[in-house]
Chain A
Amino acid sequence: MEALKLEATRHSPAVDLDLTSGTFRIVGVSIPENASEFYTPIIEWIRGAMPSIPDGSTFSFSLSYFNSSSLKALYLALTEIKAGIDSGKKIDVQWHVDEEDEFMQEAGETFSEMVDIPLNMVTGSL
Chain B
Amino acid sequence: MMDRNDTAYSLEQSLLEYKGQLSSEVRIQLLDLLNCIALFNLGPRNDLKKLVGIALELLDNAQRYNSSDDVDFRWHIEDTTLVVTIRNKAKRENAERLVDSVRNIAQMSPEEVTAAFKKQLMNNEFGELGGAGLGMLQIARKVGRNITAHIEPTLTDEYLCTSMVTTELDRTIKKA
Interface residues of A (CB under 8 A from B): 10-11, 31-37, 65, 67-69, 71-73, 75-76, 100-104, 114
Contact = CB atoms under 8 A, between A and B. Distances in A.
B169 to A, nearest CB: 14
22 contacts: A10-B24, A10-B25, A11-B27, A11-B28, A31-B28, A31-B60, A32-B130, A34-B129, A36-B130, A37-B130, A65-B31, A65-B56, A67-B57, A68-B132, A68-B134, A68-B137, A68-B138, A71-B132, A71-B134, A72-B132, A101-B49, A114-B118
A75 B46 contact: no
B159 to A, nearest CB: 21
Interface string B18-52: 00000011011001000000000000001101100
A114 B119 CA distance: 10
Interface size range of chain B in the complex: 20 to 34
Interface in B119-161: 120-122, 124, 126, 129-132, 134-135, 137-138
B11 interface: no
Contacts of B46: 100-102
Interface of B: 24-25, 27-28, 31, 46-47, 49-50, 53, 56-57, 60, 63-64, 118, 120-122, 124, 126, 129-132, 134-135, 137-138, 174, 176
Contacts of B176: 100
A33 B51 CA distance: 20
B59 to A, nearest CB: 9
A11 B57 contact: no
Nearest to B32: A10
Nearest to A101: B49
Contact of A33 (B64, B135, B137, B138): B64
Contacts of A32: 24, 130
B24 A69 contact: no
Contacts of B124: 76
Given A11-B24, A102-B47, A68 B60 contact: yes
Contacts of B174: 100
Given A31-B56, A36-B132, A67-B60, 6 more contacts: A10-B28, A11-B27, A33-B24, A69-B135, A100-B174, A103-B47
